[in-house]
Amino acid sequence: MSENKKKVVVRMAPSPTGYFHIGSVRTALFNFLFARQNEGTFIFRSEDTNDARSKKEYEDNILESLKWLGLSYDMFMKQSERTEVYVSYLKKMIENGSAYISKDEAATATRKGEEIEQRSEVIRLRNPNKKIIFEDLVRGTIEFDTTESGDFVIAKSLTEPLYHLAVVVDDHETGATHIIRGEDILSSTPRQILIQEAIGATRPIYAHIPLILAPDRSKLSKRYGATSLVEYQKQGYLPEAILNYMALLGWNPGTEKEIFTLPELIEAFSIEKVQKGGAIFDEKKLRWVNKEHIKLQKEKIIEIIKEKISNKYPEQTIDVRILELIFERIEVLTDIDRLIEDGELDYFFNEPALTKEKIAWKTSTPEEAKKHLEHVLTIIGDSDAVMKYAEEAGKGNVLWPLRYALSGKEKSPDPFTLLSILGPDVAKERIEKAITIL
């Protein structure tokens, strides 16, 4: 690297035509990481150029999501507010002959089943029809012949610039040094380079990152469940976990470390280690990453659990051990609600309803179960004694009836944990109740 290296300027430029897409999250993240590790500038640019699909609602959603994720930007701009800038560039281009107003037959074209009115007068780039070769940071040398693009349209009129023109002008004006974006724009890069040359802009360094794929290797679309960030937010994924997982999709640190906080990612990230091939989005691994981050934020998560339980059982004091039990059993935050709603810990606060048939362990009889429970009752305060007795009589034969008598559940934490949380008095009551049923 040279000493007079230019200050890094990168940008994320979403078009606000939908909720923040999971693929855009990664593009935003890579740009953010690259900017932060180079102490550069990260620009947010809303590409809302005269598109009927653009909505304020979507732009707000993207901005809120960025905030939620902790990806801060240093500059904000909207293309819809920059028309006069594009006008001046278009005028210049027409003056110097690199673009011209073309007069065609007015026509209708069909795009994706929709009829489109084509103007008779548009502004086209005068294509020098040459070969464009550029270096891509993740893909190496890319070569395109731009001849087939012809004199493509860059604006519908002086005041109605098209996407490619707006992008190139903005990147030039803001001094973008690196363009990190999805692979889907790789094939329109040569056309953008042609526009750059026409307006006398310096060519930025490109890095086209691979796409995120659905499990069937197709483009990640609505067909595959959740594609927008809000849906993951709602399911109770932590922002740190989403960022961590997205980083791992198409990038690796070169070490075996897999769990990263945002600052650690800034430290470890390197654009050179970004993968070339598309990666399938695997929710199972996302869940695992989320669980790992839940462990990292234990105190905070425990507080959330406490609050949720308090809402359901307002009058109760909540033993920390109950919080631990829930904490161990969740992968996403909504698991907490599910556990509570399913009554998974109801038996800590209310006497459980017991079914006679379920009290005895599968290899044992109700009579034996009754006998074991009666004996356990006499040594209830001494866990070691209970365990010793269980080992002699057959663990399942004793422990299953005991645990079931205490919880009324086929699945629950072990009887000793229950015993210690419920306390000897409540335990005694419940065991006696079970005995009477038998």
Partner RNA sequence: GGCCCUAUCGUCUAACGGUUAGGACGGGACCUUCUCAAGGUUCAAAUCAGAGUUCGAUUCUCUGUAGGGUCACCA
Catalytic residues: 222
Q: What does 94-142 look like in DSSP terms, one character per residue?
A: HHTTSEEEEE---EEEEETTEEEEEPSEEEEE-----EEEEEETTTEEE
- Find the shortest distance in angstroms from Cβ 1 to RNA: 21
- Residue 143 is a binding residue for RNA (CB under 7 A): yes
Q: 372 to 411, contacts with RNA by CB under 7 A?
A: 383, 387, 395-396, 399-400, 403, 409-411
Sort 398 into a burial class: Cβ within 10 Å, 0-12 / 13-18 / 19+.
Answer: buried
Amino acid identity for residue 357 in this structure: E
Sign of the Cα torsion 29, 241, 68, 281 reads: positive
Shorter beta-carbon distance to RNA: residue 7 or 101: 101
- List the one residue from 118, 129, 202, 350 that touches RNA (CB under 7 A): 118
Size of the site for RNA (CB under 7 A): 83
Chain-centroid distance of CA 426 in Å reads 45
Give the whole-angstrom CA distance, residue 370 versus residue 372.
5
Q: 36 to 75, contacts with RNA by CB under 7 A?
A: 47-51, 53
- List the one residue from 82, 92, 126, 139 that touches RNA (CB under 7 A): 139
- Residue 120 is a binding residue for RNA (CB under 7 A): yes
Give the whole-angstrom CA distance, residue 117 versus residue 8.
42
- List the one residue from 97, 113, 140, 314 that touches RNA (CB under 7 A): 140
- List the one residue from 126, 203, 329, 358 that touches RNA (CB under 7 A): 329
- Residue 275 is a binding residue for RNA (CB under 7 A): yes
- Whats the size of the chain, residue-wise? 438
| Alpha-helix residue ranges (DSSP H) falling in 236-333 | 239-248, 262-268, 283-296, 298-312, 320-328
- List the one residue from 39, 115, 148, 341 that touches RNA (CB under 7 A): 148
Query: ∠243-244-250 over CA atoms, to 5°?
Result: 95
- Residue 135 is a binding residue for RNA (CB under 7 A): no
Query: ∠382-384-389 over CA atoms, to 5°?
Result: 100
Selected range binding RNA among 233-241, 245-253, 373-381, 428-436, rule: CB under 7 A: 245-253
**Closest Cα to residue 71, out of 39, 30, 15, 18?**
30
With H, G, I as helix, E, B as strand and everything else as coil, classify residue 78. Answer: strand
- Residue 134 is a binding residue for RNA (CB under 7 A): no
Shorter beta-carbon distance to RNA: residue 7 or 75: 75
Residue 401: both structure tokens together: 């009836």
Q: 300 to 319, contacts with RNA by CB under 7 A?
A: none
Shorter beta-carbon distance to RNA: residue 178 or 208: 208
Shorter beta-carbon distance to RNA: residue 24 or 40: 24
Which residues have CB under 8 Å from 338's CB, separation 6+? none
**Closest Cα to residue 304, out of 319, 276, 326?**
326
- Residue 273 is a binding residue for RNA (CB under 7 A): yes
Shorter beta-carbon distance to RNA: residue 40 or 408: 408
Shorter beta-carbon distance to RNA: residue 40 or 413: 413
Shorter beta-carbon distance to RNA: residue 6 or 75: 75
- List the one residue from 91, 285, 298, 338 that touches RNA (CB under 7 A): 285
- Residue 188 is a binding residue for RNA (CB under 7 A): yes
Residue 16: both structure tokens together: 């606000």
Q: 354 to 373, contacts with RNA by CB under 7 A?
A: 361
- Residue 83 is a binding residue for RNA (CB under 7 A): no
- List the one residue from 132, 180, 229, 248 that touches RNA (CB under 7 A): 248
Which residue shows structure tokens 């299953």? 400
- Residue 252 is a binding residue for RNA (CB under 7 A): yes
- Residue 213 is a binding residue for RNA (CB under 7 A): yes
- Find the shortest distance in angstroms from Cβ 71 to RNA: 19
Beta strands in 160-226 (DSSP E): 160-161, 178-182, 205-209, 212-213
CB 34 within 8 Å of CB 8:
yes
- List the one residue from 75, 107, 320, 379 that touches RNA (CB under 7 A): 107
- List the one residue from 70, 200, 225, 254 that touches RNA (CB under 7 A): 254
- List the one residue from 142, 318, 377, 426 that touches RNA (CB under 7 A): 142
| Furthest C-alpha separation in the chain | 101
Shorter beta-carbon distance to RNA: residue 8 or 286: 286
With H, G, I as helix, E, B as strand and everything else as coil, classify residue 254. Answer: coil
- List the one residue from 1, 284, 314, 317 that touches RNA (CB under 7 A): 284
Residue 246: both structure tokens together: 């997205």
- Find the shortest distance in angstroms from Cβ 330 to RNA: 8
Which residue shows structure tokens 């281009």? 93
Shorter beta-carbon distance to RNA: residue 71 or 369: 369
